[in-house]
Amino acid sequence: MSRQWSGKTLADHRADNRAWVRTVLAGALADDETPQPDDTRRYTFELAKPEDPDVDSLAVRLMRAISERRRWHTELEHARNTASPTDPAHLTLAA
């Protein structure tokens, strides 16, 4: 469907999204003012360490990701089964 509007494939859209996220994370879209140390509107990011108290264990994070993926799959199957035959959502996706 997206090619009808933009001429881009799904892979093109994904690449555009990845490029945009990388640009934002690199700070290229930040406004021109230089952040001051006492500026509370700015954030700093650092990688979480395994010993951080708010970081779940790898096993918990993996099980949560698997559970979320299964939920998405179940919701997709439900949507496909309830869609009408003329609805584009009823079509199977290429693997």
Encode pLDDT of 22-74 as tens digits: 887 777 666 555 555 666 667 777 888 878 888 888 899 999 999 999 999 99
Note the pLDDT of residue 83: 76
Note the pLDDT of residue 51: 86
Note the pLDDT of residue 95: 47
Whole-angstrom distance, CA of residue 72 vs CA of residue 82: 15
pTM exceeding the 0.75 threshold for the entire prediction: no
For residue 36, the SS3 value is coil
Note the pLDDT of residue 75: 93
